[in-house]
Structure 1
Amino acid sequence: MGRKNEGGLVYSTEAGGKTCPECRHPLEQCQCSNDTRSTSSDGTVRIQRETKGRKGKGVTLITGLDLPEKDLKALAKTLKAKCGTGGTIKDGVIEIQGDHRDTLLAELEKKGWKAKKAGG
C-alpha cells in the first residue's frame, strides 16, 4: 500500500524552485517524464468538451499533442489568446475554459495538426 517514493525533496532554494521527486532535478530540467510520456498513438489531436468534476462549468480538452512541455505551453498560450479565455495544462492535456471546440479545431488545422472533435 506504500507509494513508490515516500517523501522526497519537493522544493529547493538551491535548485531555484520546485524539483522532481524522482530525479531531484529542477522541473525545467527533469528527464523522468519528458521522453516516456506519449499521449496519442495515432497522431490525431482530439478536442472534447467536459464538465465532469467542475461544478457544471465546461472546459474544452485538447489531447494527443505529443510536444515537449515548453512547446505545449506556447501552444496553449496561443490558443487561449485566440479564444479570449483562460486555461491550463494538466498532464499533457490543454484545458481551455468554455466551449471553443469549433474555434480550436480550425486553429489547430491551420497550424498543420490533424485534429477532430471527440466525445458527444
Structure 2
Amino acid sequence: MLREQLQKLFPDHKEEELPKEEISNIWLQDEPLLCKYEKRNGKSITLIEGYTGADNDFKILAKELKTFLGVGGTVKEEKIMIQGDYRDKVMDFLKKKGFKVKRVGG
C-alpha cells in the first residue's frame, strides 16, 4: 500500500535492489573457540584461540571482528588478539556466525 502511494507521488522512480551482505565461507568447527581476557604491558586485550581450520579463514575472521568492533588487533601464534576488553561483543558476534564459544577466566 505504501509502495503504491509512493509510486503515485514519484512515477519516474525505479526501485533499486540493495546489495546483500557478503557471507564468508569460514569453516565452522565442533569444538568451541576460547575467548580470554589478558593484560599485556598494562593494556587489556581479548584473545580468541582454539580454531582448527585454515589459517586464511582465521585471518578473515580476525578482519571481520576488527571491522565489527572498530578496533585494532592481530593474528599471532594461532590466536586473534583484539585491543581492549570486548569479550561479550566478540562472543555474541561469533555465536551469530555459528561458532560455539567458551569464556575462559572472569
TM over 0.5: yes
Q: Secondary structure at the match of 1:75?
A: helix
| Runs of 4+ that moved beyond 4 A | none
**Alignment of 1:94 onto 2:80:** yes
Higher helix share goes to which structure? Answer: 2
Match of 1:69 in 2: 55
**Which runs of no fewer than 5 residues in structure 2 stay unpaired?**
1-29
2:37 maps to what in 1? 49
- 2:95 is aligned with what amino acid? E
**Among residues 82, 92, 97, which one is paired with 1:106 in the alignment?**
92
The one-letter amino acid of 1:50's match is E
2:56 is aligned with what amino acid? K
Structure 1 stretches of 5 or more lacking a match? 1-41
The percentage of aligned residue pairs carrying the same residue is: 47
- The root-mean-square deviation of aligned C-alpha atoms, in Å, is 1.1
**What is the aligned length?**
77
- The answer for the alignment partner of 2:5 in structure 1 is none
Deviations 1:16-40 (A, max 9, x none): xxxxxxxxxxxxxxxxxxxxxxxxx
1:113 Cα deviation after fit: 0.4
Structure 2 counterpart SS, 1:94:
strand
Q: TM-score, normalised by structure 1?
A: 0.61
Q: Which amino acid aligns with 1:98?
A: G
Question: TM (normalized to structure 2)?
Answer: 0.69
Query: Rg: which structure is higher?
Result: 2
